[in-house]
Structure 1
Amino acid sequence: MTKQERADYIRGRLAELYPDPPVPLDHTDAFTLLVAVLLSAQCTDVRVNQVTPALFKLGHTPKALAAAPLEEIEAIVRPCGLGPQKARAIKELSRILLTEHGGQVPASLEALERLPGVGHKTAQVVMAQAFGVPSFPVDTHIHRLAQRWCLTTGKSVTQTERDLKRLFPEESWNKLHLQIIFYGREFCTARGCDGLSCEICSTCNAGRKKPVKTKKA
């Protein structure tokens, strides 16, 4: 298979397996999605979904969380890890949304990336899932799968993102990002597949005998 043939096969197979993938983080609007994605850094979506009901009961708008005591925010988000940093980021970005964006989450990648605690991947998730703007957020797991599937040789998530955007049609990016996540969790986990075991790995790399060594993101 050529690289493009692998990409076409992967897109078709993932569409069969996950025709309508849900957003795995519970949210009700762009702001609650932004906060949930911020909390998901170095944390599982399951844990985030366990934490956010209490957080959004404390406040589910920028105005409410900007006014909430930092100690209360931190106590709630602590199970997600990096509690002090995440709590400060949530409170400060809420304040900035109020003072600079009229209390609304901006539909701008650049404006999102300027918010505390919001990196490129987080901003892209919000652009894709809250505003429907074609984006291809790449985390370390998608980076790992893209290497196992021989879609990239990039040593960074930035290079992997560029390679995937070249291989897949823009209109597929938002759904494909979620489909890869769900496939990775179910069939191609960090320890459960070494690039030889799952259906996509074995199909894309027929004849491969040695495990894939992922280049660090």
Structure 2
Amino acid sequence: MVTGAGSGIGAATALALAEAGACVHTTGRSPENLKAIGDQLAATGSGTTAVLNVRDTGAFEQLIARAAEETGQLSILVNNASVRYFTPLMDATPEQEREMIDTLLLAPLAGTRAAVRTMHAHGLAGHIVNISSTSSRLPDQGLYGALKTGIDNLNDTLRIEQENDPIRVIGTLPGAVATNLARHLPPEALQASIAAVQAAPDVTFLLQPEDIARAVVYAVSQPAGISIDEITVNPQADIQPRMH
């Protein structure tokens, strides 16, 4: 199952997993985007789509259980759904904070718990892939960076808790990626990023979603005795916006 699969990293990962032979269940908030992904999944194999906001953790947990019941297994969960407001900590609104906390921390926690319990119930080996960010390693990334640091810690904790089970926990930390998260960039930051790219056309400032998808497929395709705890994927040059 891949969350936030309507576009960007989620869409690319869902399609890459399908091309690798997986039956992929996808979730997202946009019916139109999910229909397009569903059509592509149908062309490569099997899969399902479900319009869902992962902030509704109860519905998210039920969807995971139902997917496992319908197919007899759940071997991979990719927690990818994301939202970002590029504001300093002192300027974020309570509504923005709640949306980010719900989406970036509470939903992955709920989904991970439901997936692990489902894997245990079915006697399955599996992978939990939590999409973090290199923003978690930088001190000036606002609430987004703080919450991604929380995901990194969640990965470390879960990895210890599951060390005697055949469940692998993988943290994936992309650098700057060409996704629609940039829609919330302040105009001046967006213009600065565009100017940097235009000034050095031979330098890679932005990863493509497919770059992250390849990393995920690689990590979950390793033999059972190998655990890839974390993958960091950076572009050639840094273009991360600073929140100060």
Q: What TM-score, normalized to structure 1?
A: 0.29
The structure carrying a bigger strand percent of its residues is: 2
The structure that is helix-richer by fraction is: 1
User: TM-score, length-normalised on structure 2?
Assistant: 0.27
